[in-house]
Amino acid sequence: MDILLQQIINGLSLGSVYALIAVGYSLVYSVLMFSNFAHGGFLVIGGYICYFALNSMGTGILIAGFLSLLGAGVAAVVTEKVAYQPIRENTNNTLYLLIASMGMSIVIENIFVVTIGGRFRALPAIIPTQPVHLFGLATTSAFDLISLLAAGVFLGILQIILVKTKWGLAIRAAAYNLRIAGLMGVNVNLLISITFFIAGTLAAVGGIFLAVRYTLYPQLGAITIKAFVAAVIGGLGSLPGAVVGSIILGLAEMLTAGFISSQLRDLVVFFFLVITLLVRPQGLFGKNISEKV
């Protein structure tokens, strides 16, 4: 029983990190109707900013984390302005945005390979990893509990922004129809920039925790494919769906690794994707729409 509880806690922790990334995918998709595959690059940018802030600048984790979130958010906005806005202004075909996002993902990855190298880097011990005993029922690590708590806090802040602020209302309106939101007086370009900034900051949080859990390297953003799968399972464009899908994948991965084989954890992830596409293509919380890419 203690092993089962431990794997469940580990799964919730991993799923919560996936949720931070998957929500960014769904947030952009809900507004612009395309899957931003450059999202993993923002995760890597956040991880490297945190790494260099801690090692080269000698800052604490709070300042390094703030710089990481700010840098990734600004990078996301710049990416949208440089690569996506010219396409949006010249065509309504979101397929071109999808192709551009794939190109930007490769560009960001190779910028890091060329400038700082492709070797693996370990972040300092900024997050405790010692074992924690939970009421004598299970043993887990402090890192898993902290990542679960941090993800909950950031997702809670996002929910407050979406529900309680003017721009949150504008984002929800744009999720229904971006063009009509613009006709109602919303500054569409500013709204999209805010959306990308939020998505970039959430990716940076996920990047810090993934860099601590694994290591930091330019291809770390490839792990966001699992967060994308989680967003598809939950329903692209649905923020609650992205969270639920991420928790499902996190639990599935850890339970498979703990009780069957760690080599099968990726197989289980894509098995869930195939089943979702066959049984409910719009996802658990998604709606049927005419175009999804």
Range of the domain at 37: 14-220
One-letter amino acid for residue 263 of the chain: Q
135 vs 217 pLDDT, higher one: 217
The Cα–Cα gap between 290 and 9 comes to: 38
Is the predicted pLDDT of residue 23 greater than 90, yes or no?
A: yes
Average pLDDT along the chain: 89
Residue 290 domain-assigned (yes or no): no
Report yes or no on 267 lying in a domain.
Answer: no
pTM for the model stands at: 0.90
Name the residue with tokens 């994948």.
249
Among the listed ranges 106-110, 126-130, 180-184, which one has the minimum average pLDDT value? 126-130
Helix (H) or strand (E) holding 233: helix 224-234
Q: With respect to residue 31, please indicate whether it lies within any of the assigned structural domains.
A: yes
Confidence of residue 290 (pLDDT cuts 50, 70, 90): very low
pLDDT reported for residue 69: 96
Distance of alpha carbon 105 from alpha carbon 16, whole angstroms: 23
**Is there a contact between 227 and 18 (Cβ–Cβ < 8 Å)?**
yes
User: Is a pLDDT exceeding 90 seen at residue 21?
Assistant: yes
Q: Which of 66-70, 130-134, 183-187, 209-213 has the lowest mean pLDDT?
A: 130-134
pLDDT band at 1 (very low <50, low <70, confident <90, very high): low
- Whether 242 is in a domain gets the answer no
Nearest-5° Cα angle at 90, 177 to 190: 50
Q: Shortest CA distance to 36 belongs to which of 27, 45, 44, 46?
A: 27
Higher per-residue pLDDT: 96 or 132: 96
Query: How many separate domains does the chain show?
Result: 1
100 part of a folded domain: yes
Closest CA to 204 of 154, 270, 153, 260: 154
210: phi then psi, degrees, rounded to nearest 5 = -70, -35
- For the cut 70, the answer to whether the pLDDT of residue 88 exceeds it is yes
Q: pLDDT tens digits for 24-83?
A: 999 999 999 888 999 999 999 999 999 999 988 878 889 999 999 999 999 999 999 999
Amino acid at 221: G
Instruction: Give domain status of residue 233, yes or no.
Output: no
**Contacts of residue 124, Cβ cutoff 8 Å, sequence gap at least 6:** 54, 55
What's the rounded Cα separation, in Å, for the pair 276 and 284? 8
pLDDT of 138 over the 80 cut: no
Assess whether pLDDT exceeds 60 at residue 289: no
Which residues are registered as beta bridge partners of 132?
A: 140
Does residue 262 form part of some domain?
A: no
Predicted local confidence at residue 159, as pLDDT: 92
| Residue 193 DSSP SS3 | helix
Q: Tokens in use for 95?
A: 């397929």
Q: Distance between CA 38 and CA 221 in Å, rounded?
A: 9
């710049």: which residue's tokens? Answer: 78
Q: For residue 190, tell me if it sits in a domain.
A: yes
Query: Which structure tokens are listed for 263?
Result: 């080599």
